[in-house]
């Protein structure tokens, strides 16, 4: 090129060169880019879709789909939509692990939504550890899953309640009722497996911390899925406790209440059932006794916000059933993922994990309208925890006393130190 | 026709092992590797049950207890004692053999349904122990925190492809050993006991001692299946000790057949394949599988491998399975 030529002048050679480059890029490059943009983000979801606790899987799937559809309808991540691949693990940990591996290895899933019960969650956690895939634990409330450093992995996040949080809030509420009503003699009736024993022990620990006068006069440990509670109810009636705690859940809790009603059990004692205030239990009990104390699992009136009520109504309108505790946890998972996708502007697992640590999202299920993914142990805090008493019709739990998250976090820290987790 | 000996079986085993080594090179699929590892674990487990069902005539409903003892003993040794994999493997086999001696000594004196239900009772006892002894076993949540898999002799079992080779080698060696034992005079004594225990006793065979030996052998091999499963899952779960796992092993025998030596392994492949395919398309896994099992139980009345062996014999006059 001579000095007199203008630098931007289009010569025939330059035109041909640029045209060739453009053509080459069009043929070789752009389809790759457009394919990449169109490529869906596949999320694998092992869960329980058959058997006695199939509602765990179906309500988790429903809630996730509802949120994912919103994200996709809004354009996804620069045109990339989320595609859910949901598989039944039949509630068996080894099958949960197998399905998870299959979802990653042969279905091309980049992210796992582990919607298993606790034993399955630990199995999926090991798969996530082995494969290094980003994993959200949606339903497991076992504290050790994220609190115990030996279980913790950088690519796994819990978007479910945590047992110790519920126990602290529940113990504090129970102590305040006990003080007001002079309930000193307590009895427990919880399912005989790890969740039942751990949750009951923690609840009693915090009840006694806040109300040292409380005394446990008896314990009953019915088997999981036990059909007949006559023996247990008779034992409670004979012990005549002033208050009774239970972490029975689902069909077990409703059967227990129906059978307890025959013996007028709940007229003789104050009943604290942490899992009562979930529509799956509230709407199934034949004669729901008035005044059962319960923690909120999911009810659309707590938090008492328009957003929460709207979400509950939308779910019911879409699926013709009430949402469950598992449903809000699943919706929260999808919300965290979509928020992380937008913030990272990428579906890469490592980048997503980075932005997820400490991420705060707006949520209808948060105490103050937000939920935070705590960075140090990758578990959520700030979700709605409250206790109240039930009535037999909507709104089922009209007044709820909210748990104090400042107190929960302080005592949780102390609990972690005692268990040598930190 | 002349019966082929151990050298022939060894040749076949070597050829199969070579094919299994080449397989992931030809078909580099992680899903296929996972499937093969599971086939190895359950194939050894089902074949070990066939020592009792097919060769000794003892139908055990509690064979899963040894699968679980293998998985838990191995997992606990690796987690708590920090032993090397070969040491943990060896100790696990010894622990399971000892368990089989104790359980077998009580069970093998009983016949038919009493034997079946007593083994089931022992299995459920082990299941309850696992659930209750939460501090050691993790209760219903299983062994948590993963099973350490430190490298040994240059083999790293946390690497999936190396675990695949290890599982395949263990499967082939276990099957070869079982085959050799079942083709030995001991194996033929078991067949005699299966066909007519009174006659065997009459000619001087101590029937209960032979049955106990078969029970211990079967339990020991089953525990090897459990070890492979725990390595794949990096954990052990109480479901390994639940009665349904023994039921699955019996289904594997029904699908594959009990007459042909490789029948249980064929049945394992069929059941796992059915499971994997059906769960992809429907939540009614139990219903679909039930129909298939009914078909085999009521219509075919034999396993697939039994049909193949019969056809082979018919065409080539082979009189040995």
Q: Are B53 and B253 in contact (CB under 8 A)?
A: yes
Q: Does A221 touch chain B (CB under 8 A)?
A: no
Chain B residue with minimum CA distance to A129: B146
Chain B residue with minimum CA distance to A193: B140
* Residues B139, A105: C-beta atoms closer than 8 Å: no
Beta pairing class for A379-381 and A370-374? antiparallel
Task: Please give the interface size between A and B, counted as residue pairs whose CB atoms are below 8 Å apart.
Answer: 93
Residue in this structure with the two tokens 């009430």, named with its chain if needed: A322
Measured in degrees and rounded to the nearest 5, phi and psi for residue A189 equal -145, 95
Q: What pLDDT is attached to residue B225? A: 97
Nearest to B214, CA basis, from B236, B254, B186:
B186
Q: Which helix (H) or strand (E) holds A330?
A: helix A325-344
For B10-60, give the secondary structure using H, E and C.
Answer: HHHHHHHHHHHHHHHHHCCCHHHHHHHHHHHHHHHHHHHHHHHHHHHCCCC
Residues of A in Cβ contact (< 8 Å) with B283: 49-50, 54, 88
Beta pairing class for A41-47 and A111-114? parallel
Listed as ranges, residues in chain A with pLDDT below 50 are 1-8, 15, 22-37
DSSP code for B141: G
Q: Does A106 touch chain B (CB under 8 A)?
A: yes
Chain B residue with minimum CA distance to A131: B160
Going B151 to B155 to B157 to B159, the CA torsion angle's sign is positive
Instruction: Please count the other Cβ atoms lying within 10 Å of the Cβ belonging to residue A128.
Output: 23
d(CA A404, CA A386): 9
Instruction: Please count the other Cβ atoms lying within 10 Å of the Cβ belonging to residue B116.
Output: 18
List all residues 6 or more positions away from A189 whose beta carbon is below 8 Å from its beta carbon.
Answer: A219, A220, A221, A222, A232, A236, A244, A245, A246, A248, A256
Closest CB from A88, A119, A130 relative to B141: A119
Residues of B in Cβ contact (< 8 Å) with A115: none
Take residue B294 and report the two structure tokens written for it: 């009914």
Residues of B in Cβ contact (< 8 Å) with A191: none
Q: Does A101 touch chain B (CB under 8 A)?
A: yes
Nearest to A139, CA basis, from A72, A179, A89:
A89
Q: Which helix (H) or strand (E) holds A243?
A: strand A243-246
List all residues 6 or more positions away from A266 whose beta carbon is below 8 Å from its beta carbon.
Answer: A257, A260, A289, A291, A292
* Residues A93, B285: C-beta atoms closer than 8 Å: no
List all residues 6 or more positions away from A312 whose beta carbon is below 8 Å from its beta carbon.
Answer: A298, A299, A300, A322, A323
Indicate the length of chain A as a whole number. 422
* Residues A193, B131: C-beta atoms closer than 8 Å: yes
Q: Does A92 touch chain B (CB under 8 A)?
A: yes
Q: What pLDDT is attached to residue A4? A: 43
Q: Are A403 and A169 in contact (CB under 8 A)?
A: yes
Q: Are A364 and A142 in contact (CB under 8 A)?
A: no
End-to-end CA distance of chain B: 12
Measured in degrees and rounded to the nearest 5, phi and psi for residue A317 equal -65, -35
CA B304 from centroid of its chain's CA atoms: 18
Measured in degrees and rounded to the nearest 5, phi and psi for residue A402 equal -75, 140
Interface of A with B in 194-213 (CB under 8 A): 194-195, 197
Distances (CA, A) of A102 to A96, B29, B30: 10, 11, 8
Three-state DSSP at A298 gives strand
Q: What pLDDT is attached to residue A18? A: 54
ipTM of the complex: 0.81
| Cα angle value B30/B36/B37 (rounded, 5°) | 90
Q: Are A74 and A88 in contact (CB under 8 A)?
A: no
Three-state DSSP at A246 gives strand
B142 to chain A, closest Cα gap in Å: 6
Three-state DSSP at A140 gives coil
d(CA A210, CA B160): 51
Residues of A in Cβ contact (< 8 Å) with B232: 97
Output the pTM of the full model: 0.84
* Residues B144, A144: C-beta atoms closer than 8 Å: yes
Q: What pLDDT is attached to residue A2? A: 40
Write out the DSSP string of B143-172.
S-S------BTTB-TTSHHHHHHHHHHHHH
B191 to chain A, closest Cα gap in Å: 35
Q: What pLDDT is attached to residue B223? A: 97
* Residues A105, B30: C-beta atoms closer than 8 Å: yes
pLDDT tens across B99-155, in order? 999 999 999 888 778 999 999 999 999 999 998 888 899 888 889 888 999 999 999
Indicate the fold that domain A164-304+386-418 takes in CATH: Rossmann fold (3.40.50)
Q: Which helix (H) or strand (E) holds A49?
A: none
* Residues B233, A93: C-beta atoms closer than 8 Å: yes
Take residue B303 and report the two structure tokens written for it: 């396993």
* Residues B139, A142: C-beta atoms closer than 8 Å: no
Bridge partner residues of A188 (DSSP)? A219, A245
Measured in degrees and rounded to the nearest 5, phi and psi for residue B144 equal -95, 160
Q: What pLDDT is attached to residue A27? A: 41
Q: Are A211 and A272 in contact (CB under 8 A)?
A: no
d(CA A274, CA A292): 10
Take residue A130 and report the two structure tokens written for it: 């082995």
Kindly give the residue spans of alpha helices, DSSP state H, lying in A182-324.
194-210, 230-239, 250-262, 265-268, 279-282, 306-319
Indicate the fold that domain A41-162+306-313+323-381 takes in CATH: Rossmann fold (3.40.50)
List all residues 6 or more positions away from A33 whose beta carbon is below 8 Å from its beta carbon.
Answer: none
* Residues A193, B229: C-beta atoms closer than 8 Å: no
Instruction: Please count the other Cβ atoms lying within 10 Å of the Cβ belonging to residue B146.
Output: 21
CA A175 from centroid of its chain's CA atoms: 26
Write out the DSSP string of A364-396.
TTBTTSEEEEETTTTEEESB--EEEE--SSTTS
- Those residues of chain B whose CB sits closer than 8 Å to some CB in chain A are 29-31, 34, 38, 131, 134, 138-142, 144-146, 158, 160, 229, 232-235, 237-240, 275-276, 279-280, 283-286
Q: Does A98 touch chain B (CB under 8 A)?
A: yes
d(CA B191, CA A45): 48
Residues of B in Cβ contact (< 8 Å) with A49: 283
Q: Does A345 touch chain B (CB under 8 A)?
A: no
Q: Does A184 touch chain B (CB under 8 A)?
A: no
Q: Check whether the bond before A236 is cis (ω within 30° of 0).
A: no
Nearest to B122, CA basis, from B143, B135, B97, B104:
B104
Bridge partner residues of A401 (DSSP)? A387
Beta pairing class for A111-114 and A82-88? unpaired
* Residues A49, B145: C-beta atoms closer than 8 Å: no
Locate CATH 3.40.50.2300 in chain A: 41-162+306-313+323-381, 164-304+386-418
Q: Are A416 and A147 in contact (CB under 8 A)?
A: yes
Residues of B in Cβ contact (< 8 Å) with A193: 131, 139-140
A14 to chain B, closest Cα gap in Å: 46
* Residues B238, A193: C-beta atoms closer than 8 Å: no
Residue in this structure with the two tokens 């988790």, named with its chain if needed: A60
Listed as ranges, residues in chain B with pLDDT below 50 are 1, 320-321
Going A113 to A118 to A119 to A122, the CA torsion angle's sign is positive
B1 to chain A, closest Cα gap in Å: 44
Measured in degrees and rounded to the nearest 5, phi and psi for residue B242 equal -80, 155
B239 to chain A, closest Cα gap in Å: 7
């Amino acid at each position: 090129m001579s000095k007199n030529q203008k630098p931007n002048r289009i010569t025939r050679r330059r035109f041909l060169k640029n045209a060739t480059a453009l053509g080459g890029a069009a043929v070789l490059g752009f389809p790759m880019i457009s394919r990449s943009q169109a490529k869906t983000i596949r999320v694998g979801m092992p869960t329980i879709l058959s058997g006695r606790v199939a509602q765990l899987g179906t309500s988790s799937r429903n809630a996730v789909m509802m949120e994912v559809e919103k994200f996709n309808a809004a354009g996804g991540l620069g045109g990339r939509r989320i595609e859910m691949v949901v598989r039944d693990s039949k509630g068996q940990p080894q099958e949960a692990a197998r399905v998870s591996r299959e979802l990653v290895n042969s279905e091309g899933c980049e992210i796992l939504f582990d919607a298993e019960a606790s034993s399955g969650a630990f199995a999926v956690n090991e798969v996530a550890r082995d494969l290094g895939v980003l994993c959200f634990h949606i339903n497991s409330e076992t504290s050790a899953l994220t609190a115990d450093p030996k279980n913790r992995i950088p690519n796994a996040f819990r978007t479910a309640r945590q047992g110790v949080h519920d126990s602290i809030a529940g113990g504090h509420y129970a102590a305040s009722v006990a003080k007001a009503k002079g309930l000193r003699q307590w009895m427990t009736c919880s399912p005989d497996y790890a969740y039942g024993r751990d949750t009951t022990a923690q609840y009693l620990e915090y009840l006694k911390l806040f109300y040292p006068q409380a005394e446990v006069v008896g314990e009953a440990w019915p088997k999981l899925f036990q059909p007949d509670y006559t023996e247990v109810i008779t034992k409670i009636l004979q012990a005549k406790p002033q208050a009774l705690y239970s972490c029975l859940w689902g069909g077990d809790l409703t059967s227990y209440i129906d059978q307890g009603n025959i013996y007028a059990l709940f007229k003789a004692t104050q009943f604290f059932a942490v899992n009562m205030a979930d529509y799956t239990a509230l709407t199934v009990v034949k004669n729901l006794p008035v005044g059962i104390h319960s923690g909120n699992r999911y009810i659309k009136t707590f938090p008492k916000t328009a957003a929460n009520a709207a979400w509950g109504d939308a779910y019911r309108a879409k699926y013709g059933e009430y949402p469950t505790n598992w449903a809000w946890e699943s919706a929260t998972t999808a919300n965290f993922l979509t928020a992380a996708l937008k913030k990272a502007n990428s579906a890469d697992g490592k980048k997503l994990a980075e932005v997820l640590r400490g991420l705060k999202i707006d949520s209808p299920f948060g105490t103050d309208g937000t939920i935070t993914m705590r960075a140090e142990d990758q578990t959520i805090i700030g979700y709605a925890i409250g206790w109240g008493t039930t009535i037999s019709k909507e709104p089922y739990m009209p007044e709820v006393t909210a748990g104090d998250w400042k107190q929960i976090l302080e005592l949780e820290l102390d609990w972690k130190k005692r268990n040598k987790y930190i | 026709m002349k019966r082929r000996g151990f050298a022939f079986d060894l040749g076949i085993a070597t050829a199969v092992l070579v094919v299994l080594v080449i397989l992931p090179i030809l078909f580099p699929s992680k899903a296929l590797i996972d499937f093969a590892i599971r086939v190895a674990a359950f194939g050894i487990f089902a074949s070990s049950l066939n020592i009792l069902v097919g060769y000794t005539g003892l139908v055990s409903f509690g064979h899963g207890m040894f699968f679980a003892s293998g998985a838990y003993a191995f997992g606990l040794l690796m987690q708590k004692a920090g032993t090397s994999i070969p040491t943990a493997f060896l100790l696990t086999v010894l622990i399971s053999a000892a368990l089989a001696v104790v359980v077998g000594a009580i069970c093998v004196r009983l016949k038919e349904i009493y034997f079946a239900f007593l083994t089931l009772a022992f299995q459920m006892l082990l299941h309850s122990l696992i659930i209750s002894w939460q501090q050691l076993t993790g209760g219903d949540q299983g062994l948590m925190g993963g099973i350490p898999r430190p490298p040994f002799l240059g083999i790293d079992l946390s690497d999936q492809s190396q675990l695949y080779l290890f599982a395949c080698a263990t499967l082939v060696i276990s099957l070869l050993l079982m085959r050799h034992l079942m083709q030995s005079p001991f194996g033929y004594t078991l067949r005699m006991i299966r066909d007519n225990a009174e006659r065997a006793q009459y000619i001087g065979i101590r029937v209960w001692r032979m049955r106990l030996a078969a029970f211990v052998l079967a339990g020991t091999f089953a525990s090897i299946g459990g070890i492979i499963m725990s390595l794949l899952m990096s954990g052990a779960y109480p479901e390994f000790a639940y009665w349904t796992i023994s039921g699955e092993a019996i289904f594997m025998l029904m699908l594959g057949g009990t007459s042909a030596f490789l029948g249980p392994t064929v049945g394992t492949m069929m059941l796992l394949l059915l499971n994997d395919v059906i769960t992809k398309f429907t939540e009614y896994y139990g219903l679909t599988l039930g129909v298939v099992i009914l078909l085999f139980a009521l219509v075919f009345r034999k396993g697939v491998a039994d049909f193949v062996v019969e056809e082979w014999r018919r065409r080539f006059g082979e009189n040995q399975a």
